[in-house]
Amino acid sequence: MKRLPKKIPKNKFITALISLIFAYLLWAVANTSGADPTTTRNYNSIAINYVGLADNLTIENKIDTVDIKLYGRTAQLNQVNKNNIIATVDLSQITAPGTYTFEVVITGLSDSVSISDISPKYLTLTLSELSTKQMNFNIDITGNLPSGYYVLDHSANTDTVVVSGPQQALSSVESVRGEINLSSNRYDFESLVNLYAFDSEGNVVEGVNISPNQIQVSTLVGMTKTVGINIVTSGSCPEGYELVSTSANISSIEISGPVSIVNNLTSVSTSPINLNSVTQSQTVQANLVLDGGVSASTDSISVYIEIRTGNATKKMTYTSLQVRNLPANLTCDLSAFSSLTISVTGSKEIIDSLSNSDIIAYINLSNLSAGTHTVDIQYSIPDGVTILTSSLNTVTVRLSE
């Protein structure tokens, strides 16, 4: 007779099912942990924030950064932002100079990661009395401007700075300097310049502060340019002389000065040359008019003034008139005439030697009959002389038998 299998009791079945579920859960946890294992990761050069330092103290051997090592799941470490990590040293309990040990405290991390190491975790710092001194500073120029341009001047928004720090470090500071790069500028420009403290050998002195450590510097750019010369005259030559021309011993000149001024100049002028007493050709020195900080290779130039003899004028007065071509049977009554003034012109040589007798004022009575007549006044004048004006052009004459 064939035997049938034994029936499994119900309670044993439930027990087996629960065991299977736990086994699965253990397998799942094991597999999940393998996908995101715990590990460590380094975060180096975390800046140390010193707080609570008394105003009269300074740190001689300041350490700027620390390195830390964090422990946690990979996914959690991937979420750590180094910029959020804060390293702090609290100095608020220290009120007197000396050497002290301080703990570096790290904040800014989530609870999901742990700090496994801080290097260094403790800092031994020497705090000393803060010393200060006021100093001038120098601005070094680097780079080159384009050809024809140069640094005319520079000025800062302050003349001095305050250097502070430990006495030992401060005593080694010989100079404070900043640097401007010209960068091929062709115009005035502004720069924000960082200042540094240097010792006698030109090395940067660490551990000191400069206030302000940045200054605003205005740099004025100058330029050199060749321009023409404008000769300026005033007045006029004496009567009988005239100006023919003026000419300088050079046709152009090199000037230098602020770009804002020189860039707009095409020539420079001489101071006015007075012609009021110039009667002959001559060479004179004329100063150049240079304004607005402009300079030239010379302050004055030689100017040749060419003069020639010009026309002169002269006034001549006559109290009688010459009568010409009076008919033989008539007499002339000129009682209506009293005087006559004329202005004549000509070369200076002729006018200077001219006298009243050289010019004859007359009236021509030809073809006139007895009676009262108005006749023109005429002149007999030498060559080279011209009558400009006359106070009387006609005269009344009475002819009688």
Q: What is the pLDDT of residue 99?
A: 94
Q: Which of 360-392 are b and which e, b meaning 16 or more Cβ less than 10 Å from the residue's Cβ?
A: ebbbebeebeeeebebebebebeeebeeeeeee
Farthest CA pair distance, the chain:
210
Q: Which option is the CATH number for 231-309: 2.40.50.140, 3.30.1360.70, 2.170.120.40, 3.40.50.1950?
A: 2.170.120.40
pLDDT band at 8 (very low <50, low <70, confident <90, very high): very low
- How is the chain split into domains, by residue range? 38-129, 131-223, 231-309, 312-400
Q: What is the pLDDT of residue 23?
A: 60
Q: What is the pLDDT of residue 22?
A: 67
- For residue 28, what are the CA distances in angstroms to 23, 24, 32, 35, 76? 9, 6, 6, 11, 20
Residue 102 makes CB contacts below 8 A (sequence gap 6+) with 89, 90, 91, 122, 123, 125
Phi, psi of 397 (to 5 degrees): -125, 150
Q: What is the pLDDT of residue 16?
A: 63
- Alpha carbon distance 94, 102 (integer Å): 11
- For residue 188, what are the CA distances in angstroms to 91, 106, 292? 47, 49, 15
- Pair type for strands 138-142 and 175-181: parallel
Instruction: Enumerate the H helices of 102-210 as residue ranges.
Output: 167-171
Q: What is the pLDDT of residue 311?
A: 86
Q: Is pLDDT above 70 for 390?
A: yes
Q: What is the CATH number of domain 131-223?
A: 2.170.120.40
The one-letter code for the residue type at 209 is N
Q: Is pLDDT above 50 for 75?
A: yes
Instruction: Enumerate the H helices of 104-242 as residue ranges.
Output: 167-171
- Alpha carbon distance 135, 212 (integer Å): 11
Phi, psi of 216 (to 5 degrees): -95, 125
- Alpha carbon distance 59, 132 (integer Å): 14
Task: Please write the tens of the pLDDT for every residue from 49-73.
Answer: 999 999 888 888 889 999 999 999 9
Domains 131-223 and 312-400 share a fold: yes
Report the percentage of the chain scoring pLDDT > 90. 68
- Alpha carbon distance 398, 371 (integer Å): 6
- Alpha carbon distance 66, 84 (integer Å): 14
Q: Taking all residues of the chain, what is their mean pLDDT, rounded to a whole number?
A: 89
The one-letter code for the residue type at 101 is T
CA 285 to chain centre: 33
Q: What is the pLDDT of residue 3?
A: 43
**For the ranges 5-19, 120-134, 167-181, 231-245, which has the lowest average pLDDT?**
5-19
Task: Please write the tens of the pLDDT for every residue from 125-180.
Answer: 999 888 899 999 999 988 888 888 988 888 898 999 999 988 888 899 999 999 99
- Alpha carbon distance 301, 290 (integer Å): 13
- Alpha carbon distance 68, 119 (integer Å): 6
Q: What is the pLDDT of residue 327?
A: 93
Side-chain-side CA neighbours of residue 228 (13 Å)? 5
Q: What is the pLDDT of residue 5?
A: 42
Q: Is pLDDT above 90 for 37?
A: no
Q: Is pLDDT above 70 for 2?
A: no
CATH architecture of 38-129: Beta Complex (2.170)
Q: What is the CATH number of domain 312-400?
A: 2.170.120.30
Task: Please write the tens of the pLDDT for every residue from 281-328.
Answer: 999 999 999 988 899 989 999 999 999 888 889 999 999 999 999 998
Q: Is pLDDT above 90 for 118?
A: yes
pTM above the 0.75 mark? no
Smallest Cα–Cα separation from 207: which of 160, 161, 167, 162?
A: 167
Place of tokens 């003899």: 309
Residue 361 host element (H or E)? strand 360-364
